[in-house]
Structure formats: structure tokens, C-alpha cells
Amino acid sequence: MTMANSWVIETADLTKRYRDVEAVRQLNLRVAANRITGFLGRNGAGKSSTIKMLLGMSHPTSGTGRVLGRPIDDAQASRDMRRHVAYVAEDKQTYAYMTVGQMIAFTRSFYDDWRPDVEARLLRQYDLPIRRKVKALSKGMRTKLALLLALARRPQLLILDEPSEGLDPVSIEELLQALVAAAADGAAVFFSSHQIAEVERIADHVCVIDRGRLVVDASLDEIREQHRRIELGFAKNPPAWDWHGEGIGSVRTHGRQITIMARANADAIIERAYGIGAVSVESCAVSLREVFLDVVVDVEEMDQA
């Protein structure tokens, strides 16, 4: 295992093609141990396809990947890896014909790291009816059961695909706290979401995927530090100027105002703005939501071009 360099997930040019659709394109992803990594992307961006390849559910078209140091395209290594990985799938379905209690007993039998105390606590906390069949559970209850089955263990890596979908606000809060607790307990947490606020609340690191490509890979602190919204004011109509350059994302002009989303080099951009006659310059911190929209829209424009 390559824990020496502390990557629990590493991919190199990982690509997945379904007939003529390229779901994941040459993805170079690295997820660190002992951190919470948010995997952001729109619906159909390639998040689930990536996770399925990491867990051996689908086979990469090209490229390689390792999870907990084990190659993802080796069936035996993948099975061994899954002993140490807890996973909550996007649809959170478990076996409809089993009761909650049977589902717990079934899952427990596969893992040595099961924690009965956590199981009992989560059963109480989630108010799960142990004798009720899974098919009779509401969507929210099914999600809670899937979370219990993952969180009642002590995995090295916890992978969750859209974990908060179908949960009410109170349950989402409990979930986020549970993920923070799992990370504090030593697990690396890798969760996909398109709920930016959730990612911003708990993630240490953010990866954004769009149309199968990794477009952001940075810690939340780096994102906050490097990404700025720069508002430029001019005394008369701003001069024609090619704003595209290193570190510049989207550029919008409203009369004598120009708004630039800077991804890096904010100081250099401000200096350039003064050089062409800006009379007022304001540099503001941006939310993860703004960063996300900036990069996603940019990728869309690139693809259209």
C-alpha cells in the first residue's frame, strides 16, 4: 500500500467510455488519507462512473487506478481492498426482501471491523425499526440504513455517492457530523455531491469534475485564498482588452464595470487593471458555489468552442 505518500485513491489517465460517450476522461485524481474530500460535479459529470471504477464495479476503458494501494483492475486486489472500504451507493438500495435486522446481520458477517456499539447507537439515533422489511422503509429510512451499514465499521476509506440525497435537513446535519467523526476516527472520507454547501461545510479538499474531466483539485483553503472576484470600475467605457490569460476565469462586462473571476494571480490581474485605467478595484473572497459555477461554465464554453 502506498500509504507512505498518504494517497488512499490515485488514478492516472483513468478513462471510461460507454459506446460513444466518454463518461470519464483521463482523470488524474489523488485523495489524501485522514481528510475529507468532496467530489463535486453536476449530474452526469462522471462522479458515479469514477467511483464505480474505483470499487471494481466497472472496468476502465484505459488508464490505471489504485485504492488503498491496490490496483483497481485486479479482481483479487479489489476484493481485498473492499474489506477496508465502506461505500454508500447513490440509490442507497439494500435487499428489499430482508428486514433491517437481517440486513445488518448479513452485512456484519463480511467485516472484521464491525462496531456493535456504533450499530446500536445509530439504530437508536436513526430510529430504524429492526423488524421492518427494507421494502417497507421510506426513502429517508433506506438512506439511514445504508449509512448505518457503512458507518458501523471502522474503514480506512469511506466512499459515499450523493449521501444526503433523500434526507431531511436534520438528518443531513447528523450525516455531516457522522462524516466529520469518521474522519476524526482516522478514516479518509471521499464523498460525491452536487450540494456545494455541504461540501463547503465539512470538506478539507475539493475535486470538481465536469464532463469527465477534473477541473479543480485543491484544498478548500487554497481555493479561498486563490480564487477572488475582482470588480473593476472605469471612468469611461473600458478599453478593448483580451482578458483571457493565466489565472483568469470568467469575465463579465456591465457598462463601465468589469467583473473578473480570478483563479490565481489576483495581484497581477489587479496591477494589469490599473495599467489600463481602472479607477476602482475591489477584490473579494468567493464562495465555493461561485468557484464551481465559474469553472463549470468555462468548461462548457471550451467544449462549445
Partner 1 sequence: MLVYKAWRESRVRFLLVLSALVAFSLGFLLEARVHFPPPQVPMLPYAAYVWSTFYAQQAPAAFSIVALVLGLGGLQRERAAGTAAFTLALPVSRVQLLIARAAVGVLELAVLAIVPAAIVPALSPALVHQSYPVTQCLHFASLFMSWGVVWFGTGFLWSILFTGDYTAAVASVLTPWAYIVVYANLSRGGRRFPSANPFAFMSGEIDFGGFARGLLTSPLPWLAMGVLGLVATALLVSAWRLTERQNF
Among the listed ranges 24-32, 54-62, 186-194, 223-231, the one in contact with partner 1 (CB under 8 A) is: 54-62
98 counts as binding partner 1 under rule CB under 8 A: yes
Helices (H), 88-163: 100-108, 116-126, 139-151
At residue 209, what are phi and psi to the nearest 5 degrees? -115, 135
82 counts as binding partner 1 under rule CB under 8 A: yes
Please, what sign has the CA dihedral across residues 281, 285, 289, 294?
positive
109 counts as binding partner 1 under rule CB under 8 A: yes
Torsion of Cα atoms, 256 then 258 then 259 then 260, to 10° = -170
Long-range contacts of 69-74 (CB under 8 A, 24+ apart): 69/1, 69/2, 69/3, 70/1
Nearer of residues 44 and 245 to partner 1, judged by Cβ: 44
21 counts as binding partner 1 under rule CB under 8 A: no
Contact of 260 with 279, CB cutoff 8 Å: no
HSE (CB half, 13 Å, CA atoms) of 146? Answer: 27
Contacting partner 1 (CB under 8 A), which of 22, 90, 185, 217? 90
96 counts as binding partner 1 under rule CB under 8 A: yes
Contacts of partner 1 in 127-156 (CB under 8 A)? 146
CB of 240 to partner 1, least distance (A): 50
237 counts as binding partner 1 under rule CB under 8 A: no
Nearer of residues 18 and 241 to partner 1, judged by Cβ: 18
CB of 41 to partner 1, least distance (A): 18
59 counts as binding partner 1 under rule CB under 8 A: yes
111 counts as binding partner 1 under rule CB under 8 A: yes
Q: Which helix (H) or strand (E) holds 76?
A: helix 75-82
Contacting partner 1 (CB under 8 A), which of 1, 12, 21, 75? 75
Nearer of residues 85 and 175 to partner 1, judged by Cβ: 85
CB of 73 to partner 1, least distance (A): 12
58 counts as binding partner 1 under rule CB under 8 A: yes
Alpha-carbon span 156 to 24, nearest angstrom = 25
57 counts as binding partner 1 under rule CB under 8 A: yes
Q: Is 122 helix (H, G, I), strand (E, B) or coil?
A: helix
Long-range contacts of 120-128 (CB under 8 A, 24+ apart): 122/147, 122/148, 122/151, 122/152, 123/148, 125/174, 126/171, 126/174, 128/100
Contacting partner 1 (CB under 8 A), which of 24, 41, 50, 52? 52
Chain residues in the site for partner 1 (CB under 8 A): 18, 52, 55-59, 75-76, 79-80, 82-83, 85, 87, 89-91, 93-98, 106-107, 109-111, 146
